[in-house]
Amino acid sequence: MPKRSNAPTVDPLSQAVTALPGVGPVVAGKLAARGLLSVQDLWLHLPLRYEDRTRVTPIANLVPSQPAQVEARVEAVERSFRYRPLLRVVVSDDSRGTLVLRFFHFGKAQLAQFVPGRRILCYGEARPGQHGLEMVHPSYRLLADDADAVIRDRLDPVYPAVEGLGPQSLSRLIGEALRLLPPAEALELLPADLRARLQLPTLRDALLTAHRPPPDADLAQFALGVHPAQRRLALEELLAHHLSLRRQRIALRAHGAMPVRPPGKLAAALGKRLKFKLTGAQQRVLEEVARDMSRPEPMLRLVQGDVGSGKTVVAALAAANAVEAGRQVALMAPTELLAEQHLANFRAWLEPLGVQVAWLAGKVTGKARTAALAEIASGRAQVVVGTHALMQDKVVFSSLALAIVDEQHRFGVHQRLALRDKGLDGSQVPHQLVMTATPIPRTLAMSAYADLDVSVIDEMPPGRTPVTTVAVSGERRGEVVERIRAACAEGRQAYWVCTLIEESEEVEGQAAQSTFEQLGQLLPELRLGLLHGRMKPAEKQAVMARFKAGELQLLVATTVIEVGVDVPNASLMIIENAERLGLAQLHQLRGRVGRGAAASSCVLMYKPPLSAMARERLEVMRASTDGFLIAEKDLELRGPGELLGTRQTGLASFRVADLVRDAGLLPTVHEVAETLLAEQPALADRLVRRWVGGAARFAGA
CB of 406 to Mg ion, least distance (A): 6
| Interface pick for ligand ADP out of 312, 328, 558, 648 (rule CB under 6 A) | 312
Q: Does 344 bind ligand ADP (CB under 6 A)?
A: no
Element (DSSP H or E) covering residue 619: helix 612-623
Mark the segment that binds ligand ADP (CB under 6 A) among 98-106, 189-197, 248-256, 271-279: 271-279
177 CB neighbour count, 10 Å cutoff = 26
Tell me whether residue 69 or residue 625 sits nearer to ligand ADP (CB atom).
Answer: 625
| Interface pick for ligand ADP out of 42, 135, 313, 389 (rule CB under 6 A) | 313
CB of 265 to ligand ADP, least distance (A): 21
| Interface pick for ligand ADP out of 595, 617, 633, 690 (rule CB under 6 A) | 595
**Do the Cβ atoms of 323 and 280 come closer than 8 Å?**
no
Tell me whether residue 124 or residue 564 sits nearer to ligand ADP (CB atom).
Answer: 564
559 CB neighbour count, 10 Å cutoff = 21
Measuring CA to CA, how many Å separate 77 from each of 84, 118, 128?
Answer: 17, 11, 19
Q: Does 385 bind ligand ADP (CB under 6 A)?
A: no
327 CB neighbour count, 10 Å cutoff = 24
566, interface contact from Mg ion, ligand ADP, none, CB < 5-8 Å by kind:
ligand ADP
**Do the Cβ atoms of 293 and 404 come closer than 8 Å?**
no
548, interface contact from Mg ion, ligand ADP, none, CB < 5-8 Å by kind:
none
CB of 457 to ligand ADP, least distance (A): 7
Task: Give the whole-angstrom CA distance, residue 250 versus residue 291.
Answer: 19
CB of 311 to Mg ion, least distance (A): 5
How many amino acids of this chain bind ligand ADP (CB under 6 A)? 19
- According to DSSP, residue 182 is labeled P
CB of 325 to ligand ADP, least distance (A): 23
**Do the Cβ atoms of 203 and 187 come closer than 8 Å?**
yes
| Interface pick for ligand ADP out of 124, 298, 308, 641 (rule CB under 6 A) | 308
Question: Where in 281-300 is the site for ligand ADP (CB under 6 A)?
Answer: 282
Measuring CA to CA, how many Å separate 602 from each of 99, 207, 330, 478, 582?
Answer: 52, 50, 35, 16, 16
CB of 277 to ligand ADP, least distance (A): 6
Closest residue by Cα to residue 563 from 525, 534, 531, 596: 531
Task: Give the whole-angstrom CA distance, residue 620 versus residue 166.
Answer: 43
Question: Where in 54-83 is the site for ligand ADP (CB under 6 A)?
Answer: none
Tell me whether residue 62 or residue 350 sits nearer to ligand ADP (CB atom).
Answer: 350
Tell me whether residue 457 or residue 555 sits nearer to ligand ADP (CB atom).
Answer: 457
Sequence-distant (≥ 6) Cβ neighbours of residue 571 within 8 angstroms: 487, 492, 493, 494, 593, 594, 596, 598, 599, 600, 601
CB of 471 to ligand ADP, least distance (A): 24
Tell me whether residue 133 or residue 644 sits nearer to Mg ion (CB atom).
Answer: 644
Mask for 397-436, x = binds ligand ADP (CB under 6 A): ----------------------------------------
Q: Does 305 bind ligand ADP (CB under 6 A)?
A: yes
Task: Give the whole-angstrom CA distance, residue 327 versus residue 298.
Answer: 14
CB of 291 to ligand ADP, least distance (A): 20
Q: Does 566 bind ligand ADP (CB under 6 A)?
A: yes
Tell me whether residue 200 or residue 329 sits nearer to ligand ADP (CB atom).
Answer: 329
Question: 3-class DSSP state for residue 571?
Answer: strand
Question: 3-class DSSP state for residue 190?
Answer: coil
> Could you tell me whether strands 156-158 and 49-51 are parallel, antiparallel, or unpaired per DSSP bridges?
antiparallel
Question: Residues in the site for Mg ion, rule: CB under 5 A?
Answer: 564
Sequence-distant (≥ 6) Cβ neighbours of residue 424 within 8 angstroms: 255
191, interface contact from Mg ion, ligand ADP, none, CB < 5-8 Å by kind:
none
CB of 598 to ligand ADP, least distance (A): 14
- According to DSSP, residue 160 is labeled P
8, interface contact from ligand ADP, Mg ion, none, CB < 5-8 Å by kind:
none
Q: Does 191 bind ligand ADP (CB under 6 A)?
A: no
Q: Does 276 bind ligand ADP (CB under 6 A)?
A: yes
Tell me whether residue 328 or residue 341 sits nearer to Mg ion (CB atom).
Answer: 341
> DSSP string spanning 519-532?
HHHH-TTS-EEEE-
310, interface contact from Mg ion, ligand ADP, none, CB < 5-8 Å by kind:
ligand ADP
Q: Does 439 bind ligand ADP (CB under 6 A)?
A: no
CB of 276 to ligand ADP, least distance (A): 3
Closest residue by Cα to residue 647 from 413, 433, 419: 413
Task: Give the whole-angstrom CA distance, residue 321 versus residue 138.
Answer: 68
CB of 589 to ligand ADP, least distance (A): 12
CB of 100 to ligand ADP, least distance (A): 58
Task: Give the whole-angstrom CA distance, residue 310 versus residue 391.
Answer: 26
Q: Does 311 bind ligand ADP (CB under 6 A)?
A: yes
Q: How many angstroms from the chain centroid is the CA of residue 146?
A: 53
Q: Does 304 bind ligand ADP (CB under 6 A)?
A: no
Read off φ and ψ for residue 426, nearest 5 degrees.
60, -115
400, interface contact from Mg ion, ligand ADP, none, CB < 5-8 Å by kind:
none
Question: 3-class DSSP state for residue 74?
Answer: strand
Nearest residue to the partner ligand ADP, using Cβ: 310
Tell me whether residue 281 or residue 446 sits nearer to ligand ADP (CB atom).
Answer: 281
Closest residue by Cα to residue 653 from 377, 413, 348: 413
Closest residue by Cα to residue 35 from 25, 46, 45: 45
The residues facing 120 across adjacent strands are: 72, 142
Alpha helices per DSSP H over 256-324: 265-273, 280-293, 311-324
Mask for 460-499, x = binds ligand ADP (CB under 6 A): -x--------------------------------------
Tell me whether residue 138 or residue 564 sits nearer to Mg ion (CB atom).
Answer: 564
CB of 395 to ligand ADP, least distance (A): 24
Q: How many angstroms from the chain centroid is the CA of residue 551?
A: 37
Read off φ and ψ for residue 403, nearest 5 degrees.
-110, 120
**Do the Cβ atoms of 170 and 159 come closer than 8 Å?**
yes
> DSSP string spanning 597-608?
SS--EEEEEEPS
436, interface contact from Mg ion, ligand ADP, none, CB < 5-8 Å by kind:
none
Mark the segment that binds ligand ADP (CB under 6 A) among 117-125, 311-319, 655-663, 672-680: 311-319
Read off φ and ψ for residue 555, nearest 5 degrees.
-110, 115
700 CB neighbour count, 10 Å cutoff = 13
Q: Does 455 bind ligand ADP (CB under 6 A)?
A: no
Residues that bind ligand ADP (CB under 6 A): 276-279, 282, 305, 307-313, 437, 461, 564, 566, 568, 595
